[in-house]
Amino acid sequence: MAISIRSASAADVQAMAQLMTDKRKQLEMFEPVMWRPSEAAAQLTPPFFTHQVGQPNVVARVAESGGRLAGFIIGVIQDAPPVFSPGGKTVLIDDFVVVEGAEADDAASGLIDAVMSEGRARGAVQIIAVAAARDERAVRWLETKKLHVASQWWTRTLTH
């Protein structure tokens, strides 16, 4: 089946939130302390996503295949911090999830392309995407789109 990319709506939020719950389980395996979901995560995510898909500065897209959600991406178009001057707005992608399967690469590519295209059309000059260092699929997808590492977060527990 072919992947189709469209704007996310409030009707997609529950499915998006479920994909994010599954993604958080994976992230927690990568870094059990940093990525541990709060007890309230499942309850907080749907209203947060509902808010985001309704904002004019947000580019929220879903990928569908055969009537099922294959992934989603949320990019927020914003100004850079005042100490930097990239020459225009920045698209920040923090929430980006694609399900496993044969069409994952096509879904990821389409979602990233959609956000970059819309960001560019709205005056953004750069894209910043958050991805776990150990998320090999996301890293590969971002590198395919010519994104590169500009910053890293380093972590360790302080309890032992």
Rounded Cα distance between 15 and 47, Å, is: 13
Q: Looking at residue 159, what is its pLDDT?
A: 85
Question: For residue 67, what is the DSSP state?
Answer: T
Question: For residue 89, what is the DSSP state?
Answer: E
Q: Looking at residue 63, what is its pLDDT?
A: 98
Give the chain's domains with CATH numbers.
4-144 (3.40.630.30)
- Find all residues with CB under 8 Å of 6, minimum gap 6, and list them: 61, 62, 64
Q: Looking at residue 125, what is its pLDDT?
A: 97
- Contact 61/4 with Cβ under 8 angstroms? no
- Find all residues with CB under 8 Å of 62, minimum gap 6, and list them: 5, 6, 7, 8, 12, 16, 69, 71, 72, 111
> Along the chain (160 residues), what's the average pLDDT of each consecutive run of 10 residues?
93 96 91 90 96 97 94 97 93 96 95 98 96 94 97 88
Which is it for strands 124-129 and 89-98: parallel, antiparallel or unpaired? parallel
Report which of 142, 98, 92 is spatially closest to residue 3, judged by C-alpha positions.
98
